[in-house]
Structure 1
Amino acid sequence: MPFGHFSRLNSQILQVLWAYAAFGAVASIREDYNDIEEYRVQDQINLYHCTGSPLLQTTACQCRSSEELECINAQITDLNVFNDINKFYRYNRKITLRGNNFNSLPEGPLFGNQSQMNLELLNLSANYIVNISSNSLKGMPNLMILDLSNNEIVLHKDMIDFLSHTPRLHQLYLRRAFTAMNKDERQLHLLMKMFEKANLQNLSILDLSYNFFTAVPYNLPCPFPSLMELDLKQNYLQSFDINTSCIGKLRTLDISRNNLSRLSDNFMNSVASRMKNNSIILNNHFICDCNSSEYIYWIRNATTVVCFDFSLNT
């Protein structure tokens, strides 16, 4: 075999060997990276691992700092978890227990007899909660944000003091929180009694969307003198009117995606005139016929109304 041909053959073999070596090195680096990433994720889980209570020792529960605890979709059913939180995490500012299955809240204070003085946010959404207690929120005097959305709450007379222990509440989220509002008019009456009894002077945001309301009380905003946002979208409202003397600070009123076909004269002449520009979200299927001239004139000239619901883009 000529020397030149032999040299070219060796060169090709070397190139193949280099390629295999390079591929092996890349594969090794990738394996090392995957191992490092796995350790990093595990370290992060360990970093946020909740200690103390066996009920909280799951990857679905994370204690991100000495002030924040989250148990999301942990499928916790044992109400003793609240006592454990009070024992091991009494000074937390934020507690989120979302996506579990409590069904009922304790008859007494949620976290036992010792108060959660630092607690500012409590999220109990999506827990299939049916029964609450008048004393459930006792011992949380500084609570500012409460989220009970996506539950199945049925109200009774002995529950109307439920919100009476949280005088500093600023934001209340009750999105799809009730199941019987369209079947039993007493439910809405009890809800209004609860609001009136609560004396929430600082409440600025109230979310009552997706609750199947066919009507809302005329004085709905009146217990909340600081109310700035009222969300009533995606209910079954066929008419809507509220006390204009109670909406002095209201900045956003969302009544979109209801069953409204007409607006009352009081709404067009009084409610809307007291609101800021672009503060009312309508987005309903309004009737437009020979009797709609006043509405058409009003909607063309109204500066307070947003007919398009921007949340449809989210």
Structure 2
Amino acid sequence: MLMSIGCCAKVDNTGCPESFKGRCKCGNITSIYSSTNKFTVSCTDSGFTNASMLQDIPENTEILIFTGNNVPELPFNIFNNYLKLLDVLETVDMSNNNIRFIQGKSFHKVYNVKTLILNHNALEITDKKERPRIFSNFESLENLHLTNAFTEDTNASDYLLSLDDIFYESELSFLKIIHLEQNEIWSIGENPKIFCQLPHLEQLHLGDNRLLDFDFRIDCLHSLRYIDLERNMISRLSGKAMTELDSFVKNVSSFEIKLEENPFVCDCRSSNFIHWLNSTPVVVRDWKTFVCRDGYPDSNTGQLLSKVHKLSCPSSGKINNKSNNLHTEKAFHDTANYHGGHHIIGYSSATIGALSFFLVFTSSMLLAVAYFHKQKIKAIVAPCGDFLTRNIGYTGISGDETPREVNV
């Protein structure tokens, strides 16, 4: 049985236009995006390899869920908005579609969309062209989800620079929440003002990255109330970061930061950080549950930061006091081994023991091989030794060691 939506579009028994090939569901339902009934077009794991059917999206669509497909590129004017209005469309979820390219003119007349979700794609945004304008028509956007959204073929530092351009061109003046988790970000310091172009930002989610410190500007974000930095690679916050956070909180009514499950190190270099946790006006969520991933003395490892009282360093006096500097931490990050979220710290007794075992084992194997092939090795080395003895003689003796003639 066929029905009609609008002046001419025909729908099938799924409630969707025929062009959706019966793979989607359309109608008034409740969903994770709304606790009340709203007209929703849901195409989840529908096997689409292009988005051409979205040209026929009903004009009364309030929520679009187009996820789990394989659409590498979003076409120009994806909703065919030149011929229709989507005045009530408020949520667009296009997660997990393997999207690599979004043209600058892919989205038109999405003025009232408040939530855009592009999680788990492979976006390539470093090619300038028109892409700095990919969000420019989302004039009412409040929530932008970019969790694990970018291609792994590009360094995070590069696409963050492009994202800076995108924020500038898009003028997302109403954006309140941005999610950037799981994007392999180790530093934002190359463009520390990137978020300053989001003047009404309230929440910044940067969890599950590889950040070594809090290294970006927030003094420009007067509405900011929450930063999520959980599960990064922060061993301790730098003095600069702590000072900036303390300064920021003086001018706002409330402010909270989340730092759980970072690989905190409890040694002499962490004393200022631990003191800061005890005294800062910043609300550091659940900081008394933080655990030392490593430390010195070794007994600190596995202890709660709030319970650690003795903070020492190996080889007292030999530690560079500048080791908290971000560049030093970056160099350490680039060269350190990483296993399951744990740094292998140089002075860890477990690490030293493992390395010692490896060296002894390797040496033993080499000696064993040499023993079983000693006759062959002797046959090769002996002629070389004879040759050197006959032809070189004492010419290897240095001038200071040459025998001198003594007059008697």
Instruction: Establish whether TM, by shorter chain, passes 0.5.
Output: yes
Q: Partners in 2 of 1:117 and 1:271 — Cα distance?
A: 41
Whichever residue aligns with residue 236 of structure 2, its letter is R
Cα displacement (A) at 1:181: 7.3
Closer/same/farther in 2, CA of residues 82 and 61 from structure 1, 3 Å limit:
same
Give 2:59's aligned residue.
90
Secondary structure of 1:67's match?
strand
Give the TM-score taking structure 1 as reference length: 0.76
Give 1:281's aligned residue.
258
Asked if 1:260 is matched to 2:234, the reply is yes
Cα displacement (A) at 1:273: 4.5
Closer/same/farther in 2, CA of residues 101 and 220 from structure 1, 3 Å limit:
same
Give 1:8's aligned residue.
none
Task: Tell me, yes or no, if the aligned pair for 1:48 and 1:64 is still in contact at 8 Å.
Answer: no
Cα displacement (A) at 1:250: 1.1
Question: Which moves more between the two structures, 226-235 or 173-182?
Answer: 173-182
Task: Tell me, yes or no, if the aligned pair for 1:256 and 1:309 is still in contact at 8 Å.
Answer: no
Give 1:121's aligned residue.
91
Whichever residue aligns with residue 256 of structure 2, its letter is S
Closer/same/farther in 2, CA of residues 168 and 230 from structure 1, 3 Å limit:
same
Task: Tell me, yes or no, if the aligned pair for 1:104 and 1:131 is still in contact at 8 Å.
Answer: yes
Task: Tell me, yes or no, if the aligned pair for 2:119 and 2:145 is still in contact at 8 Å.
Answer: yes
Give 2:334's aligned residue.
none
Give 1:165's aligned residue.
137
Closer/same/farther in 2, CA of residues 259 and 182 from structure 1, 3 Å limit:
farther
- After superposition, the CA RMSD in angstroms is 2.5
Give 1:34's aligned residue.
none
Asked if 1:299 is matched to 2:273, the reply is no
Closer/same/farther in 2, CA of residues 116 and 309 from structure 1, 3 Å limit:
farther
Secondary structure of 1:298's match?
helix
Any unmatched runs of 5+ in structure 2? 1-10, 30-37, 290-408
Task: Tell me, yes or no, if the aligned pair for 2:92 and 2:115 is still in contact at 8 Å.
Answer: yes
What's the CA shift string for 1:129-160, capped at 9, x where partnerless? 11111111222111111000011111120211
Give 1:26's aligned residue.
none
Give 2:155's aligned residue.
183
Question: Which moves more between the two structures, 65-74 or 161-170?
Answer: 65-74
Q: Partners in 2 of 1:244 and 1:136 — Cα distance?
A: 31
Question: Which moves more between the two structures, 203-212 or 276-285?
Answer: 276-285
Task: Tell me, yes or no, if the aligned pair for 1:182 and 1:213 is still in contact at 8 Å.
Answer: no
Any unmatched runs of 5+ in structure 1? 1-45
What's the CA shift string for 1:237-285, capped at 9, x where partnerless? 1232222322321111001111112312232122245346571001211
Q: Partners in 2 of 1:267 and 1:184 — Cα distance?
A: 21
Secondary structure of 1:63's match?
strand
Give the counterpart of 1:197 among 148, 163, 169: 169
Give 1:109's aligned residue.
77
Q: Partners in 1 of 2:184 and 2:13 — Cα distance?
A: 39
Secondary structure of 1:68's match?
strand
Give 1:214's aligned residue.
186
What's the CA shift string for 1:153-186, capped at 9, x where partnerless? 1112021110111111000000110123763632
Cα displacement (A) at 1:117: 2.3
Closer/same/farther in 2, CA of residues 57 and 251 from structure 1, 3 Å limit:
same
- The higher relative CO (CA closer than 8 Å, separation ≥ 6) is in 1
Secondary structure of 2:266's match?
coil
Whichever residue aligns with residue 296 of structure 1, its letter is I
Give the TM-score taking structure 2 as reference length: 0.59
Q: Partners in 1 of 2:103 and 2:241 — Cα distance?
A: 36
Q: Partners in 2 of 1:69 and 1:105 — Cα distance?
A: 18
Closer/same/farther in 2, CA of residues 285 and 48 from structure 1, 3 Å limit:
farther
What's the CA shift string for 1:217-256, capped at 9, x where partnerless? 3113211111111000001112322223223211110011
Give the counterpart of 2:214 among 207, 218, 240: 240
Structure number with bigger Rg? 2
What's the CA shift string for 1:172-215, capped at 9, x where partnerless? 00011012376363222111110111111110000000111111
Asked if 1:149 is matched to 2:123, the reply is no
What's the CA shift string for 1:66-93, capped at 9, x where partnerless? 72211111121232111121xxx01211
Task: Tell me, yes or no, if the aligned pair for 2:144 and 2:175 is still in contact at 8 Å.
Answer: yes
Summarize the alignment of residues 12-27 of structure 1 with structure 2, pairs less than 5 Å apart: none
Q: Partners in 1 of 2:17 and 2:267 — Cα distance?
A: 67
Question: Which moves more between the two structures, 137-146 or 48-57?
Answer: 48-57
Whichever residue aligns with residue 137 of structure 1, its letter is F
Task: Tell me, yes or no, if the aligned pair for 1:83 and 1:111 is still in contact at 8 Å.
Answer: yes
Closer/same/farther in 2, CA of residues 293 and 182 from structure 1, 3 Å limit:
farther
Give the counterpart of 1:61 among 9, 14, 25: 25
Secondary structure of 2:194's match?
coil
Whichever residue aligns with residue 213 of structure 2, its letter is S
Asked if 1:51 is matched to 2:16, the reply is yes
Question: Which moves more between the two structures, 298-307 or 207-216?
Answer: 298-307
Q: Partners in 2 of 1:219 and 1:121 — Cα distance?
A: 28
Give 2:103's aligned residue.
133
Task: Tell me, yes or no, if the aligned pair for 1:228 and 1:250 is still in contact at 8 Å.
Answer: yes
Secondary structure of 2:27's match?
strand
